[in-house]
Chains A and B, each alone.
Chain A
Amino acid sequence: MNQLSSIALILLLSLMAGHLVKFLRIPEVTGYIIAGIVVGPSVLGWINQENLASLSIFSEVALALILFSIGSIFEFRRFREVGKLIVIITITECTCVLALVTGAALYLGQRWEIALLLGTVAMETGAASTLMVLREYNAEGGLTQVITGAIAINNLVCLTCFLLVTSGLQVAGRLGMGGGGSVYATIYSVIWQLIGSAALGYLVGLLLAAWSTRVTEHGETLILLIGCVLLCAGLALFLNLSILVVSLVLGATTANLSAHTGRLAMVQSRTDPPFYAVFFVIAGAHLQLGLLKSLGLLGLAYIVARAIGKLIGTYFGSRLAKSTPQVRRQLGPAVLAHAGLAIGLVLSLARRYPQLNAELTVVVLGGILVFEILGPISVRKVILRAGESHARVAGGMEVLE
């Protein structure tokens, strides 16, 4: 199948899956992901590895757009209200997941460096799928704000921890050959990925904010937005920076400096659905059902320990931060999704350090398969239960579900 027809197939299939899941009362994202699994190499094989490789550019753009919209949570006024709360909750949650997953892996006899890496990757919360569910149900309110913020901080914390852990292990010589390069190169890469990325995101954000005062039309705004997001992603690839951090900072800068944040967000939300559909179908196609069979005890432990860590961590974190009882009870199930960044991290590990246990990749990818299907369903439930869903009906009237 050539590239154009595979994109067409993906778009139409995702639309169909979207219709279908309405009956099943599960989020569209889950439908897209399941559609991806079905047409992907592991079931029907209509979309093969070659198609997936050539469509990876869509994934990059969609991920950058998603993180851009998450970045707007860092708008100073909004962040001042919930920032401290979110930071405390996220750090408690990450610590719990790290401790439980690492402990479980050690208990099952894994080497400590493998256990530590598993724990670090397990911290991650799937930003894209969670945010998509929030958007599908047009969620608004206190809990939604905490969820979005917690995810943004979570991804930053996870990436930072991952960079620190791999650099530490690399410098200590625990990862064997493969990382290539000196202690200087290792430390440089940590600093460059975090601070360099933030600097790039800030500069492009400045450009976007300044230019957005000059454009008024919907079409022009869209061109400016997509251009800036692509510029970020492209420069990040060229300079070896983290697309995640660059896009988050771009979103944050724009939200703080542009007087037209609302218009930008509106333009984005009207334009990006095709990107997201392609993104999630591709993400689904990448998941291999066969992995489930080979997960084993370690895989099960990873899934259970991560889920418990997320639930307990958010509960105690919320208590510590003295948040509302609603957040305390319902934040945990809303941050179970696991994808995006975790896939990138584990694949980069497998490529850079091939001698690391192959189980690591299998366990994480298997865990992602489970959490990526259950996570969005769980977010939907939380949003509906919290009464923060404002689904629009055909006539444009807003109804409270």
Chain B
Amino acid sequence: MQARHRYVATLAVVAVVILVVGFLLRPTPPPTPARRAPAEVTVSHAELDNLRDLVQRNSLRNVAADFSALADRVFSQVATVRPWGTGAIVLPGGNILAPKPIGGLPHTIVLTSGDGPPHPLTPANWIPGVPFLSATVQASGDFSPANLAQVFPVQGSWLLLVTDGVNRPALVSPGVFSGFSEVHCGPFLHRQLQTTIPLTAATIGAGVFDLSGSLQGIVAQCEDSVSILGIGDIQKALTDANSATLLVRYGMRLSITPATPPANSTSAVLVGELWVGWPADAAGLQAGDALLNVNGQNMTKIDDVVTALSKPDQASFHLRVRRAQRIFLTDLKPVQLGAPNAAPQTALELEPDGMRLQHVAPGSSVAAAGIRTDDIILRVADLPATPARVNQVLGSYRVSAPVSAVIWRPGRELLVWIQP
């Protein structure tokens, strides 16, 4: 019994020593710098570690106050789109970005924000292949435009997901940004923000904001998964896709107005690229021409031109065009989709679900470069090949400038130059 007591006491002394020594030897956390102003996007690692510890020990309770202050600030930038209920972001300039509804675009769209009055929109411009639709709202005090991110957050920064929806309370969910990955959304390769924010179908349309309250991304459905697409890429994809709709109807791509338009002129939309033998070429247009007016309506934005020229039931459009100092009128006739032999033959055809060439038109610049049926296209113009990119860059009989392509032919990889 005596011996047992001695063991117990010795163990107790050892335990006390372990606790005291362990406590004294604990690693010192790095000194916490003074709190940064929220306007700065970056958060120091030490601050992050403190936050993580807080979250770990006290669940989200203690940091919730910080986030809810930010959420209040950015919540007004998220509008509700009826009837499908997902959030929408109002961009500076009055455009809204909303993710595509599942099951098709409704006939009428109503946008609301906070307690403001509902704001009806004309059916929005829905571009095939892009998971977003963009529409213009009248400049109105009801909607606060989102503050667009100028810089992407550094890894480890906190981001906040904010959404609104019909019959659903606001959803505010913080998470840590951990990097980018690329994701295919329709024909476009997007940069996707990787975060710890849980994404579900209910979060589609939510805005993802950084600690300065700037919009960093929007949650959208990409193929079968839900991702946060970086805001810069969304706008680029919309512009690309807008032009692409004209490319397949007219063989014409638009570019934006140069920063300083020539004197004595209003801003205009320029023709960026033309496919030889297509309607825009036939109408006498050239790259660099400014489109001033379509069917009597003045055009100042790419979206306006795309909307005007996308009307399906019109056989011909009257254009007013400026080239250098000369202004002339011309008629543009779209390709009659579905009409036999109406569309000019493209230089190549891809297999429906791959990059293998099903057909190469004899006499085209692609054929002249030595590309054959059954070749597989890997890269075009130094970019990974996607069906849309291959059709855009190599689809016309003649390219406007030399283009490189990497093809795979059983057994070897070849670099070819396609000459105009």
Interface residues of chain A, those whose CB is within 8 Å of chain B, are: 49, 53-54, 56, 177-178, 180-182, 184-185, 188, 191-192, 195-196, 198-200, 202-203, 206, 237, 239-240, 257, 290, 348, 350-352, 354-355, 358
Contact = CB atoms under 8 A, between A and B. Distances in A.
Contacts of B189: none
B27 A196 contact: no
Interface string B76-113: 00000000000000000000000000000000000000
A352 B56 CA distance: 8
A177 B155 contact: yes
Given A203-B15, A350-B196, A180 B45 contact: yes
Contact of B196 (A177, A239, A358): A358
Contacts of A195: 18, 22
A199 B19 CA distance: 7
Contacts of A188: 25-27
Given A177-B45, A351-B55, A355-B194, A185 B19 contact: no
Contacts of B61: 53-54
| A-B pairs, 7 with minimum CB distance | A355-B178, A199-B15, A354-B176, A185-B27, A180-B49, A199-B18, A354-B196
B15 A352 contact: no
B277 interface: no
B414 interface: no
A359 to B, nearest CB: 11
Contact of B60 (A53, A199, A348, A350): A53
Interface stretch (B6-14, B137-145, B253-261, B278-286): B6-14
B175 A354 contact: yes
Interface in B25-71: 25-27, 29-30, 45-46, 48-49, 52, 55-57, 59-61
A196 B57 contact: no
Chain A residues touching B, majority SS:
helix
A196 B18 contact: yes
Contact of A196 (B19, B55, B155, B194): B19
Given A188-B25, A351-B56, A352-B52, 20 more contacts: A49-B60, A53-B60, A177-B156, A180-B48, A180-B49, A184-B27, A192-B22, A196-B18, A199-B18, A200-B19, A202-B11, A203-B12, A203-B19, A206-B12, A351-B55, A354-B175, A354-B178, A354-B195, A355-B155, A355-B194
A91 B48 CA distance: 37
Most chain A beta-carbon contacts within 10 A, residue among B8, B57, B179: B8
Interface in B147-196: 155-156, 175-176, 178-179, 194-196
Contacts, number: 81
Contacts of B8: 206, 257
A152 to B, nearest CB: 20
B15 A200 contact: yes
Nearest to B179: A355
A89 to B, nearest CB: 28
Most chain B beta-carbon contacts within 10 A, residue among A56, A177, A182, A257: A177
Nearest to A200: B19
Contacts of A350: 196
A196 B16 CA distance: 9
A355 B179 CA distance: 8
B23 interface: yes
A240 B23 CA distance: 10
B200 A290 contact: yes
Contacts of A358: 194, 196, 198
B196 A178 contact: no
A61 to B, nearest CB: 15
Given A184-B27, A202-B15, A196 B22 contact: yes
Contacts of A290: 200
19 contacts: A49-B60, A56-B59, A177-B45, A181-B29, A181-B49, A182-B27, A188-B25, A196-B19, A198-B15, A199-B22, A202-B15, A203-B12, A203-B19, A290-B200, A350-B196, A355-B155, A355-B176, A355-B194, A358-B196
A332 to B, nearest CB: 33
A241 to B, nearest CB: 9
Interface string B188-219: 00000011101010000000000000000000
A298 B12 CA distance: 47
Nearest to A362: B198
Contacts of B59: 53, 56
Nearest to A188: B27
A358 to B, nearest CB: 7
B8 to A, nearest CB: 7
A202 B27 contact: no
Contacts of A200: 15, 19
B262 to A, nearest CB: 50
Most chain B beta-carbon contacts within 10 A, residue among A49, A185, A350, A351: A351
B140 to A, nearest CB: 34
